[in-house]
């Protein structure tokens, strides 16, 4: 996508707003560094991250004064890191419902690589009576 006539002294907020109009960019955090004779813009993806096409500068020769250098460079290539890997990404096909169990915030490993779940009324607790004595409740 081409963005015509972006001023070389655009504010960080205005650049973020202009770039976020494209669905390719998603939500951005733009930081402007430097002074009136040399701005740098650091663009960080907040949402819609991952690998992006490098940004290129067209018509840099039309920037005044003549001889002004305008470049784009990559600080860090995007990617996605999951640690630990969510269960949604490791699902396998099963004909019965599966459960996902976490212990202390860490996913558990099911025996035989299956986490079958079957509801049985014989193994479901039932409440047969409730007795209240003051502030105590006995079930």
- Give the separation between CA 74 and CA 42, rounded to whole angstroms: 10
Task: Write the pLDDT tens digit of every residue in 80-114.
Answer: 777 777 767 777 788 888 888 888 888 788 878 78
Measured CA to CA, the distance from residue 23 to residue 41 in angstroms comes to 20
Count how many residues are written for the chain. 139
Q: Give Rg (Cα) of the chain.
A: 28
Q: Quick one: pLDDT at residue 17? A: 92
- CA–CA distances in Å: residue 4 to residues 19, 39, 52, 57, 95: 11, 19, 20, 11, 54
Write out pLDDT tens, residues 18-44: 888 887 788 889 999 988 778 889 999
């Amino acid at each position: 996508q081409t963005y015509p006539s972006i001023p070389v002294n655009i504010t960080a907020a205005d650049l973020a707003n202009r770039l976020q109009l494209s669905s390719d960019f998603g939500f951005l955090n733009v930081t402007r560094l430097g002074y009136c004779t040399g701005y740098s813009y650091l663009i960080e993806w907040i949402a819609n991250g991952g690998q992006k096409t490098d940004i290129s500068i067209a018509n840099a020769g039309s920037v005044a004064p003549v001889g002004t250098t305008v470049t784009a460079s990559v600080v860090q290539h995007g990617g996605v890191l999951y640690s630990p890997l969510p269960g949604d990404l490791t699902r396998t096909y099963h004909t019965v419902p599966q459960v996902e169990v976490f212990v202390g915030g860490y996913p558990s490993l099911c025996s035989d690589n299956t986490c079958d779940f079957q509801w049985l009324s014989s193994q479901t607790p039932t409440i047969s009576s409730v007795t209240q004595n003051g502030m105590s409740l006995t079930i």
